Structure formats: structure tokens, C-alpha cells
Amino acid sequence: MKNRIFMYLFIFSVLLIIFQYVNSKNIIDKYEKDIKTYKSKQLKAEEDLRMMSDKTQELSYFTIDGNEEALTYFENQGFNIETLLPKLKDGLLEMNAYKGIDHPIVPYASMTESKIVIDYIQVLNHKWILTNFTDGKHWGELFINYEVNEVGEITYKLTDYFLYPIN
């Protein structure tokens, strides 16, 4: 009788150990699978971040923020960049408050009932600006030269422009 109890206990113990082993193995396999999944997601995220960083650097190449020589030019002239750049953009945006049908710098008249307005401005360097204009239906772009005199007054000169055709 005592031998049977020990045998049953032994069989029960072996079954319990097998159950524990299989259960632990399944848990470890799941964790390893999850770790591989997260590592692959992390590698993809790092690659995406690297690509976005490269793209950001590429896009900022033709901006005044990415042009150290242009910034140095203004600093050598004694201008504060943080106040000058908003002043450049504000000067163009103030032109949107014009009276009549002719915009002060856009060479096209509105072909809708809306006024033509400049809606996006990109300062390229210490001499050039690209802008986008629209009347709500038609739109185009301007290439503007600008100069800042010693007093800080800004003059804009339209260099080139185009209006996109409507399809």
C-alpha cells in the first residue's frame, strides 16, 4: 500500500513537472516572440527616424534657418534674426490688406470674387523669398528679392512669378 502511494505521488510529481515544463516553455517562447517583434518594430522606428531626419535636413537646406552664411550676414549687419525674420514675413502679409483689386506685389488680378492673398512664405536666404498666393481658386508662386537697409526698413522686389493653370 505504501509503495502504491509513493508510486502515485511519483507519477503525480512527474506529471506536475511535465506540466510546469511545458507551461514555462510556452511562456518563454511567447516572450521571445514578443521581444523579436518589439526589436523589429524598434529597428523600423529607428530607420524611419533616420529617414525623417535626413528628409528634414534636406528640406531645411534651402531655408534661412539652414543657411549659416545668410544668418551670419544679418548678424554682421547688426540685425537680430529673431525679430527680423518675422518682420520680413509680416511685411509681405500686411500687403494682403490692400484696397481695390490690385495686390501690391502679386502681378495678377483676382479671377474670383475673393481677393488675392499671399498665404505661405519661405525665406530662402538673406536676399530671396518664395511665396505662394491664391484667390481661392487660382494659385501661383512668387520669387521675391528683398533688401534690408541700415535702419531695418525692408524693400521687396518681384523677380519672377507664375500662375498654375486650372485643370
Cα 155 to Cα 117: distance, rounded to the nearest angstrom? 19
Evaluated on CA atoms 132, 134, 140, 146, the torsion sign reads negative
Domain boundaries, the chain: 1-59, 64-163
Cα 145 to Cα 16: distance, rounded to the nearest angstrom: 83
Q: What is the pLDDT of residue 147?
A: 95
pLDDT at 60: 79
pLDDT in tens, the chain (167 residues): 778 888 888 999 999 999 999 999 999 999 999 999 999 999 999 999 999 999 988 887 888 888 889 899 999 999 998 999 999 999 999 999 988 888 899 998 888 888 999 999 999 999 999 999 999 899 999 999 999 998 889 999 999 999 998 87
User: Cβ distance 157 to 142 under 8 Å?
Assistant: no
Question: CA-to-CA distance for 33 and 77, rounded, in angstroms?
Answer: 61
Cell (9 digits) for 134:
491664391
pLDDT at 63: 87
